[in-house]
Structure 1
């Protein structure tokens, strides 16, 4: 492109329009050396691949790939390319006083959190999503997406996770009917799992899963139009795996949940089957 512009055969504006390239990006490439040009191209590529990531997470991904890059360059390139994350509407402050809960996760499988998220397919079919996370590693252990989720369904989802990871010490949740059902409480008691129920109307007491839900909506549910329940299940599961593998988490030193978990191995799984579930 540079040779064409320099020879006078084409203007910068026309060449950039033909190549679908912004003029600011072209000027960046011209001023820097080959290494800087490649770095700028990578900043742009990652910002477009992960449009809901801010400059800090993009920089973390670049450094993970081995680039030496300062935050100012990442910010400047993203600003000139119009790749900044659009601001969210301010959230209304909740009233009430939160109550401190006694258990904070200090190791893998110490505290899991679960909750529900609701969405719809493009033709209006309601979907209920059960999410389960490990509060220590921030890994999303499962997302079960169905039209309806009953107590038996959520116990089935938990059984699948526990067969791979072992049994947690505690599970934190709100007081939803599915979570306080006798069937669920009895199953937990038999497995020796303690339940931590937050105060009614106090979702901020389950802050880890609330934060995860914000990310799930922002990066997946609000970006997709699901044509069917099956498509939703496939897309959501792909996003879950990507989140665990790639997402630079600020509370984990910008490691991904999977990276953090690899550096903090869990103890040998304590796998128990528990009582048979009612189907």
Structure 2
């Protein structure tokens, strides 16, 4: 099982936000790959997921990890859904207002916010 989510942070002095999209492997609790940018579209999520599949040598495997996300616009898009279908990944979306179902990535983003984003 892999979990993915997007965290955003305010860039002080530039009056804009940055987006951090991360994918965590629930089994070993490691961040497989991430995207940091001034935007985070479905294509950015697809590129990050594709790199994650390459890093974990999953493209050639018949059974791939389940990708669990919330219902953000990047994840409900046809583009993201088609990529998951094409690669043979099951995409599981959690019900609205249940972040505890994505607890591992939410916990990582909370630590990231407390230790980095809110301090600097």
TM-score over 0.5 (shorter chain) = yes
What is the Cα deviation at residue 158 of structure 1?
Answer: 1.5
Number of aligned positions between the proteins: 114
What is the Cα deviation at residue 223 of structure 1?
Answer: 2.0
Q: Deviations over 1:219-271 (max 9, x none)?
A: 111222xxxxxxxxxxxxxxxxxxxxxxxxxxxxxxxxxxxxxxxxxxxxxxx
- Higher gyration radius (CA): 1
- Out of 99, 107, 115, the residue aligned to residue 219 of structure 1 is 115
SS at match of 2:47: helix
Give the equivalent residue in structure 1 for 2:97. Answer: 201
Give the equivalent residue in structure 2 for 1:118. Answer: 8
- Out of 29, 34, 37, the residue aligned to residue 143 of structure 1 is 34
Question: Which gives a bigger RCO, structure 1 or 2 (Cα 8 Å, sep 6+)?
Answer: 2
Between Structure 1 and Structure 2, the one with more strand by share is: 2
What RMSD over aligned residues (CA atoms) do the two structures have, in Å? 1.2
Q: What TM-score, normalized to structure 2?
A: 0.88
What is the Cα deviation at residue 181 of structure 1?
Answer: 0.9
CA contact (8 A) 2:32 2:55 kept: no
CA contact (8 A) 1:169 1:192 kept: no
Q: What TM-score, normalized to structure 1?
A: 0.39
Residue ranges of structure 1 left out of the alignment (5+ in a row): 1-110, 225-279
Between Structure 1 and Structure 2, the one with more helix by share is: 1
